[in-house]
Structure 1
Amino acid sequence: MSERLKAILSKKGAIKKIGVVGMGYVGIPAAALFADSCAYDFVWGFQRNSPSSGYKIDLLNRGISPLKGKEPMLDSLLARVANAGKFACTSDFSNISKTDAVTISIQTPFLNKDDLEPDFRPLLEGLRSVGKHITEGSLVVLESTVTPGTTDGIAKQILEEESGLTAGEDFALAHAPERVMVGRLIQNIQEHDRIVGGIDDVSTQRAKELYSPILTKGKAIPMSTRAAEVTKTAENALRDLQIAAINELALYCEAMGINVYDVKAGVDSLKGEGITRALLYPGAGVGGHCLTKDTYHLERGVKMSPLKPDLPDNNSSIFVVARNINDFMPRHMFNLTVQGLKRAGKKPEGANVAILGWAFLNNSDDARNTPSEAYHDLLLKAGANVKVHDPHVENYPGVAILQDPLSVLRNSDAIAIMTGHDEYFKLNALTVKELAGSEQPVIIDGRNVVSPDEFIDSGFIYKGIGRGDKNMHPIRPLNPLECIAVGHHAGP
């Protein structure tokens, strides 16, 4: 324990002004909650004024969230704190000198997962910007998911070099990883326990002071910095493993001609003391910023450790195997598409395919590492004509995203549901078939959204992940009366 740092913080007093670096899915709700707390006087949101994200600054200063999709409580919270004069967003990082604590939430993707090299350039740039302006007694908290060893390694080094101060002596440093899911950002921050790992006891305690006022059901859980880093990477690697388990089971069920959802319900039904066998849901792929790369942060942390784990010879990491399975699911959607088109007497080359859903998560605009992109690219490579609909994603580099479902569904040979948006649960089989304009259109359900029997009875060729009970159904073309009925439905 540093008596010097302890004395500095005691003299400085309670945290009153906060800076949040990175106005994204983590930083925006955190800044709003900090600003809404009576424990704090003011919160700065720091955002680079770049061509791709500088637009957020004006929106946030007007109390408007730049995040699309359904995000309960966020819009009203932002409006309240902006109107109350407790929050402002800026690209001027010199204002960090006016804060008592700074949190950093910047993405940490991988340049190449095969050689375990992360792209820390944006994070390192953020650390340098923070380091230039922190003062004696500042608290710096790294919220970004990082390779274990980063906080008390390169992050500490940069902050010290830029500030001329010493971590643990002149300023406090901690890692408190975010644990949020798009669609429930505010709720997650308030209700989830907060892992807090300082580089020393004083830093840990200061970080606990920062987060405690915004926790409702959650509590701060102290541990070492390295343990906090491993906790975040491990919990996401484990979730990815759970998803991979049900995805592989879904592939097994398809091969054996059974419904994976029956199996899931059966497994879930076994309850009792010490029994934890609940399964997650299979799907068209795993996207987002976290699960797609946190396994590699964990693997890199082990690789960089001076001690190597005692494992069997020629052991393959189950976490990397899980990652490979989940990465395969868009390819499986493509395979199902090809199979469905073949049953309709068509090939992917020249086929018109409608993709429903570009966001990786239902009712969200978050399209980071979306599995839809891999599926989309496979279709293009096979010579298909592709249209994409998403009610929440307005634009994406290199891909035209349409908000009008009718124009996307019209004249489609195949329709693939990649995201479980609420709108897609309302699809009417006869109306969709009329729009498709095909005698035997194909529907490929990657999220168990539609009723297989409804679409099969309406003349569709159905393919669904994990639906071995339906994927080889007899093809039922519409009879004349059904063809007439198609015209009586106005919308999807």
Structure 2
Amino acid sequence: MNLYEKIKNREEKISLVGLGYVGMPIAVSFAKKVNVIGFDISKEKVELYINGIDPTKEVGNEVIKETAVEFTADELKLREAKFHIVAVPTPVNSDHTPNLKPIESASRTVGRNLTKGSIVVFESTVYPGVTEEICIPILEKESGMKCGEDFKVGYSPERINPGDKVHRLETIVKVVAGMDKESLEVIAKVYELVVDAGVHRAESIKVAEAAKVIENSQRDINIAFMNELSIIFNRMGIDTKAVLKAAGTKWNFLNFHPGLVGGHCIGVDPYYLTYKAEQLGYHSQIILSGRRINDDMGRYVVENLIKNLIKADVPVKDAKVAILGFTFKENCPDTRNTRVIDIVNELKEYGVNPMIADPEADEDEAKHEYGIVFDSVEDIKNMDAIVVAVGHDQFLKLSKEDFKKMFKEGSNESKVLTDIKGILDRKEYEVAGYKYWRL
């Protein structure tokens, strides 16, 4: 009986290393079919899960209360599992070089507790070669065992989209790769237990690593093109959203929109690919050009906000500005690599300390990562300018009367409204006299 059969018959366990926005939903999904150990180094996070609280809001408190996942911060529990899935973040450093510390640390933890006959599958986004050139040597060193003889390794890039209730683990085709045919088949069959959409068997681990890193690089480039178009059309006095609506009537026009590009994937993954390319002597042309455009959008937004404050005869220094939304995307508490912070920092350069309200965001994470303390939407009053930065459902429900209450008393001509996501009716606010601007 091979490892897959033993897992299926609950004779062996799966472990999930890293219980964040990606790892936790995977653990919960597998726990419906097999025995699962959910491990994270954060005791606080594990306690929340044990107490039935889902800080990520990915599956909800009720699901967490009912799941059979054995949550733990005790790494020794990993010795009870034979199939390990590593789903830890892979961020970039301030100089945009890959920060592999989380995946290296996770590899050491798994290695210390690895048993013979195990399979370790990495899900973290990396450049081609990391699994075999960095992770395997760490596993061998820590375990004292030989890869290929005592244990095997695979790679299956995560495709979970935080906050997305449609595209989930079960509904997205899963790319899987193994170091040999035997490990590939076991890995594929294990994932087939939960992935209804099926799996794609990649030719090699490097192919799977490369497939993942280009998925988000492609999106990044497409959004950069939209952002560049927005800059051009803004100078022409043309509404970008209207242009895209018209162009979108063609069957093969790609449905992308301008905006801030943050999060743990799209704004990060391209740097992994260009870093490896640089090591091989190739300097990226298109990818880095797109990154430069997207990284500069926060400054661009603030420049236009300042111009409208001046047009409204509002002194820029100490102007009262409120920002609605801080997460990297709508209806999601995740603030990792949010580019709204670029707007905050740029406003401070002009002597403006904005109020920030985000009812969806993880308050503790925002305070720890950025030193940001949120205000409530109800507390926003007497503003000179409002920036709608994230399209949360709660913000979509705000009426013109709701916005009016947030601004200072006076004529609408002195009220500046910046709608980054384009969620408001432009004509309605322009007719009312607001200094309205959007990407």
- TM class, shorter-length: over 0.9
Is structure 2 residue 267 aligned with structure 1 residue 278? no
Q: 1:425 to 1:455 in 2, by over 3 A?
A: same
1:421 aligns with 2:392: yes
| 1:80 aligned residue (42, 61, 66) | 66
Q: Between Structure 1 and Structure 2, how many residues are aligned?
A: 429
Question: Which residue matches 1:346?
Answer: 314
Match of 2:403 in 1: 432
Task: Evaluate the alpha carbon distance shift between residue 27 and residue 11 of structure 1 in structure 2; reply closer, same or farther with a 3 A threshold.
Answer: closer
Q: 1:98 aligns with which of 47, 66, 80?
A: 80
1:337 and 1:444 in contact (8 A); partners too: yes
Give the counterpart of 2:36 among 27, 43, 52: 43
Q: Is contact 1:448-1:464 (8 Å) kept?
A: yes
Contact 2:163 2:332 survives alignment (8 Å) = yes
* Contact 1:361/1:420 (8 A) holds in 2: yes
Partner letter of residue 32 of structure 1? V
Q: Is the 8 A contact 2:261 2:295 kept in 1?
A: yes
Partner of 1:142: 122
Alignment-derived partner of residue 48 in structure 2? 59
CA-to-partner distance for each residue in 1:111-159, whole Å, 9 max, x for gaps? 2445xx3221222111101001111111101111112101011100000
Q: Which residue of 2 aligns with 1:195?
A: 175
**1:44 CA displacement:** 0.9
Give the structure 1 partner of residue 301 of structure 2: 333
* Partner amino acid, structure 2, of 1:111: N
Partner of 2:160: 180
Cα distance, 1:112–1:391 mapped onto 2, change above 3 Å: closer
2:426 maps to 452
> Cα gap change, 1:9/1:316 in structure 2, threshold over 3 Å: closer, same or farther?
closer
Deviates further, 335-344 or 176-185: 176-185
The residue matched to 1:101 in structure 2 has which SS?
A: strand
Deviates more, 1:371-380 or 1:452-461: 452-461
The alignment-based identity, stated in percent, is 32
> Residues 18 and 8 (structure 1 numbering): CA distance in 2 closer, same or farther, change over 3 Å?
closer
Distance in 1, Cα, partners of 2:112 & 2:256: 45
**Structure-2 change in CA distance of 1:192 and 1:8 (3 Å):** closer
In the alignment, the residues of structure 2 paired with residue 446 and residue 8 of structure 1 have an alpha-carbon distance, to the nearest angstrom, of 53
Separation (CA, whole Å) in 1 of partners of 2:256 and 2:177? 30
CA offset digits 1:308-335 (Å, max 9, x no partner) = 56xxxxx752111111111111111101
* Structure 2 counterpart of 1:18, from 1, 14, 17: 14
Deviation per CA, 1:175-231, whole angstroms, max 9, x where unpaired? Answer: 111011111268421111111121222221221122110011232333200011111
Q: Is 1:167 aligned to residue 167 of structure 2?
A: no
Change (3 A) 1:268 1:459: closer
Q: Is the 8 A contact 2:79 2:113 kept in 1?
A: yes
Match of 1:298 in 2: 273
Structure 2: 5+ residue runs without aligned partners?
none
Relative distance call for 1:106 and 1:333 in structure 2 (3 A) is same
Tell me which of 359, 365, 377 is aligned to 1:405: 377
When residues 388 and 263 of structure 1 are mapped into structure 2, their CA distance, relative to the original with a 3 A threshold, is: same
TM-score (norm. length: structure 2): 0.93
Q: Partners in 2 of 1:12 and 1:213 — Cα distance?
A: 13
SS of 2:265 mapped into structure 1: coil
Q: Quick one: distance in 2 between partners of 1:13 and 1:109?
A: 32
Q: How many Å separate the matches in 2 of 1:372 and 1:216?
A: 36
> How far apart, CA to CA, are the structure 1 residues paired with 2:74 and 2:187?
24
- Seen in structure 2, the aligned counterparts of structure 1 residues 156 and 456 have a Cα distance that, compared at 3 Å, is same
Q: Secondary structure at the match of 2:433?
A: coil
How far the C-alpha of 1:10 sits from its partner, in A, is: 8.6
Query: Shift in Å at residue 385 of structure 1?
Result: 2.9
Give the AA of the match of 2:232: Y
Distance 2:139 2:353 in 1: 50
8 Å CA contact 2:277, 2:284 repeated in 1 = no
In structure 2, the residue corresponding to 1:427 is in which secondary structure?
coil
Secondary structure of the equivalent of 2:202? Answer: strand
Q: 1:279 to 1:164 in 2, by over 3 A?
A: same
SS in 1 for 2:354: strand
Is 1:378 matched up with 2:346? yes
Shift of 1:360: 1.1
Letter of the 1:279 counterpart: N
Distance in 1 (alpha carbons) for counterparts of 2:430 and 2:246: 26
Report if the CA contact (8 A) 2:84-2:121 is conserved.
yes
Q: Is 2:126 the partner of 1:152? A: no
TM-align CA RMSD: 2.0
Correspondence for 1:463: 437
> How far apart, CA to CA, are the structure 1 residues paired with 2:60 and 2:403?
35
User: 1:362, CA displacement in angstroms?
Assistant: 0.5
Q: Greater shift after overlay, 426-435 or 345-354?
A: 426-435
How far apart are residue 234 of structure 1 and its match?
0.4
1:391 aligns with 2:359: yes
Letter in 2 for 1:429: K
Q: CA deviation at 1:426?
A: 2.0
TM-score of the superposed pair, with normalisation by structure 1: 0.83
Give the superposition deviation at 1:89. 1.1
How big is each residue's C-alpha offset from its partner over 1:344-390, in whole Å with a ceiling of 9 and x where there is no partner? 11232110100000011111111111111010011112101310000
- Give the Cα separation in 2 of the matches to 1:368 and 1:111: 13
